[in-house]
Structure 1
């Protein structure tokens, strides 16, 4: 690992669901690409960056989605993701938060600093799971979903990872 403090490397390396990947760790317990990097921060703190890459609404559907729906979905998704610190028992204050369109993907980035490595790992996992859960809750009915989003819908409607694509999870 490049630039990852040794104590952070130990905790994330031992934590179930996280695997070393590039200059940080990937979370393998979600369908979306969630990654965490860590660098030395001020004093006793470590700076963390959690990045989640999810498909855009248009990329997740086989149908053509109108610009008003695409923009409305994106704006709502962005607003709902601001509440991520409430998704964990760890008191986390975000240093920065962004949601950006990157071609066919939506990239969500959270930056925060914490002193406890275990708490930081718990927060990172909760953040990635929150993005995925918020995405699923915001699925717009009436479209034919494909790929990862169709798989998530199948899991939500059948209670497992196998089965046929059913309705929306709510």
Structure 2
């Protein structure tokens, strides 16, 4: 069981909910993160809780609608995603370990671990990891496929953000992928 300060920090954050097993989740995110916390240990420099953030995303073939992604494409896509996620630990203010990125069936499992003595900052660090994984995953979407959720919704949201920020071109374009720009 985590201490009251940690529980309060997660409970008070609008993006987190406490799960039945004592972990904390981001259920409203397209790829929910799950945070496990181990009670503080005194390392001689003060006490720090250990945090483990796990984010599961689908493999490309799991979100492509109506066709099967060739194995060579799927493998290349995963290898590229894995390389892009190497920096996931750098979004934390804590001294985090480089991520563990695993392929488990039709999912990618990303785990980042860090220690922190500041529960409020740890919550922000955990959320930053979840959002980094999501954004990195979205950047890897390959144009030319029809996608189902959550990829379809993420692409649509990216298109809307692209148009709303004024960079959609004259009269607004359908987004970067359709206008010849960088793929989503």
The normalised TM-score by structure 2 is: 0.80
1:9-68, Cα deviation, whole Å (9 max, x unpaired): 011111121111132111145211211111114210101010111111110102211111
Of 54, 57, 73, the residue aligned with 1:54 is: 57
RMSD value over aligned CA atoms?
2.0
Question: Partners in 2 of 1:59 and 1:79 — Cα distance?
Answer: 20
CA drift of 1:119 comes to: 1.3
1:24-39 to 2 correspondence within 5 Å? 24-39=23-38
Q: Which runs of 5+ in 1 are unaligned?
A: none
Which has the larger Rg? 2
Q: Which residue of 2 aligns with 1:66?
A: 70
Structure number having the greater strand percentage = 1
Q: Are the counterparts in 2 of residues 153 and 167 from structure 1 also a CA contact under 8 Å?
A: no
Q: Does 1:139 align with 2:137?
A: no
Q: How many residues align?
A: 162
Question: Partners in 1 of 2:153 and 2:175 — Cα distance?
Answer: 10
The normalised TM-score by structure 1 is: 0.86
1:61-104, Cα deviation, whole Å (9 max, x unpaired): 0221111111111111111111123324x14321x621122222
Q: Which residue of 2 aligns with 1:86?
A: 90
CA drift of 1:159 comes to: 3.2
Q: Which runs of 5+ in 2 are unaligned?
A: 163-173, 178-182
Residue range with higher mean Cα deviation, 52-61 or 62-71: 62-71
